A and B are shown apart, each in its own frame.
Chain A
Amino acid sequence: MGSARSATLTRPAPAAGRVQTPAGRIAARFRRNRLAVTALTVLAGIHLAVILAPWIAPGDPDTVALVQRLLPPGQQHWLGTDEYGRDVLTRLLYGGRVSLAVGLSSMLASMVLGVVVGALAGYSGGLTDVVLMRITDGMLAVPLFFVALMALAMLGATILNLVLVIALTSWMTVARVVRAEVLRTRELEYVLAARAIGCSGLRILARHVVPQSIPSITVAATLGVAYAVLLESSLSFLGLGVQPPAASWGNMLSGARGYLRTVPGLAVVPGVMIFVTVLCYNWFGDGLRDAIDPTLAER
């Protein structure tokens, strides 16, 4: 006991400069990954632009001006106008709000669901574990896109339903990741100690076990946004996502489809936005994973 105290007393002061916390080390490793940093910067730009849409957009996203339909890019309309004479740049910014909001909120919902299922399965073990994992595996074996399609057609393609459907069809990976982490963590000594002093199961999970998997959850969340944005745009493209006249990147493409021959540019722009956003989220997530666990970098 005495020696432990003296050890604390004589612990060398941190070398000049900052203390290296685990988060600091991750950040430092992340900063060395040029691609990931670029991706993060681009993402920050895109998010900022769509958040500021009401202030920076040159016009109103829903104002129809049939005299000005299908104008080529020019001084007044930087990216031209669509089939209803609406400014494409404006709709791109407002549509981005919807696409990213749907992407981020469905990711959030699917993370919550995945973490709860995974933590519960991993920590309880036994029958709960078996049942929850059977459900997870079962869902992974079903062509969920078809079910999502049917569900949205039946329940109505509102934004809330869209978020719910995306979340309900994409929580399984997170659940598996969290379960694996919980299985690893739950037998660690500090968890046993927490149990010994009488912490409730819920408290142990929430305070001591789940926080251990935050790095993996963060990575899964980043990649989850990429997946959700892709899914939203696909469903909106099929007419089962965000409903016109509200713009989303997916339904802008759906509208542009009829003008591939005459104004192909109309289909290029929203697609590039989806592509770049998803690409940057994937790069960012990948960089994050490498920074968190350098041993994984090879995969």
Chain B
Amino acid sequence: MLRYLIRRLLQTAVLLLVVSLVVFALVTQAPGGPSILLDRNMSQAEIERMRAILGLDQPVYVQYVRWLTQVLRGNLGISYQAGLPVLEIILQMLPNTLLLSAASLVLSLVVAIPAGVLSAARPYTSLDHTVTFLCFFGISVPTFWLGLMLIVLFSIMLGWLPPGGMQTIGAPRSILDMARHLILPAVVLGTANMALFARYTRSSTMAVLRQDYVRTARSKGLAERAVLYRHALRNALLTIVTVVGLQLPRLVGGAAITETVFAWPGMGSLAVRAAFERDYPMIMGITLMISFVVAASSLLVDLVYVFIDPRIRYG
């Protein structure tokens, strides 16, 4: 177990290194500098001095090594635009993105697993066909468009839910208020995964239901419910956990779009802004942090296997 953990951590470190290298090269080699250097009021000399202060006059590898040594000391640099430490800004936004992602993940699992199991228990019935049909809708609908449509329906026409933001401006901070703001973004972000997880739950449960031990469970007189949820689902869960793990990188990508649609103050909207403003330290910090969080969550998912399936041992 320990050896497995160490190997995984090393792999993660290599991955982060490569990602940061690629993005760094992309950012520094692209034509045009950061947008703070495009200020018309600055003279050429001032721009040159600014470049020197930011270290942009150095060769790329020097810049990268400098950045990396600072990162290893826990310093992600200062945002060009905000003038604040990148880490500080990210740590403010990251919890919001994690909250949104986690809420949508929970929501999609809570809907998808029962839907998938029921479909598998009654295959080729109208219930099964309906679920399959809805799954195709969920996989095909553009996230941001779904968001816009739900805003039109629930916020503008019905007035039930707020159209964006994380809390009502001016109102005292309350969990209930935040939850109301969370509903639409979580549904929008969760839709595609809901559909995907339901499909995988269905197919893996169907495969499990054909096995001998399920027949044994049935023949010893267990209620169908117990057979399905206690015996079949437990084995089917392995597939679902795998799929959840594989979807994590896409989940944060979806979060970026969802956050933009709902003005949710998170890493996604931060990233879009940083990209447009060519805020190098911010871009690097966000990429590194998001990749790290995704890698850490994937590792967590792998460890969940052990709890679901006692047969699995990592050596």
Contact = CB atoms under 8 A, between A and B. Distances in A.
A50 interface: no
Given A145-B250, A147-B19, A271 B278 contact: no
B260 interface: yes
B252 A234 contact: no
A150 B271 CA distance: 8
Contacts of B203: 298-299
Contact of B145 (A143, A146, A253): A253
Given A149-B271, A153-B276, A278-B140, A271 B257 contact: no
A267 B145 contact: yes
Given A140-B246, A238-B257, A257 B148 contact: yes
B140 A146 contact: no
B26 A151 contact: yes
Given A140-B249, A282-B136, A283-B136, A267 B256 contact: no
Given A140-B249, A143-B291, A154 B26 contact: yes
A141 interface: yes
A203 to B, nearest CB: 34
A151 B18 CA distance: 15
B142 interface: yes
A147 B246 contact: no
Contacts of A237: 142, 144, 257
Contact of B152 (A264, A275, A286, A299): A264
A275 B140 contact: yes
Interface residues of B, number: 49
Contacts of A298: 123, 203, 206
Contact of A264 (B156, B252, B278): B156
A144 interface: yes
A146 B298 contact: no
A146 B290 contact: yes
B253 A145 contact: yes
B184 to A, nearest CB: 13
Contact of B19 (A142, A149, A230): A142
Contact of B253 (A138, A143, A155, A274): A143
B140 A142 contact: no
Contacts of A178: none
Interface in B10-24: 15, 18-19, 22-23
Contacts of B31: 155-156
Nearest to B12: A141
A72 B25 CA distance: 49
B249 A275 contact: no
A18 interface: no
A234 B258 CA distance: 10
A148 to B, nearest CB: 8
Given A141-B15, A146-B290, A226 B148 contact: no
A220 interface: no
Nearest to B137: A279
Contact of A149 (B144, B206, B254, B256): B256
10 contacts: A141-B295, A141-B298, A143-B250, A143-B253, A145-B253, A149-B275, A156-B31, A282-B139, A298-B206, A299-B203
Given A267-B149, A279-B137, 17 more contacts: A138-B18, A143-B250, A143-B290, A143-B294, A145-B256, A150-B271, A154-B278, A230-B142, A237-B257, A253-B148, A264-B152, A264-B156, A268-B149, A278-B140, A279-B141, A286-B136, A298-B206
The 10 A-B pairs of least Cβ separation, nearest first, read: A145-B253, A153-B275, A271-B145, A154-B30, A279-B140, A278-B140, A143-B249, A264-B152, A299-B203, A143-B252
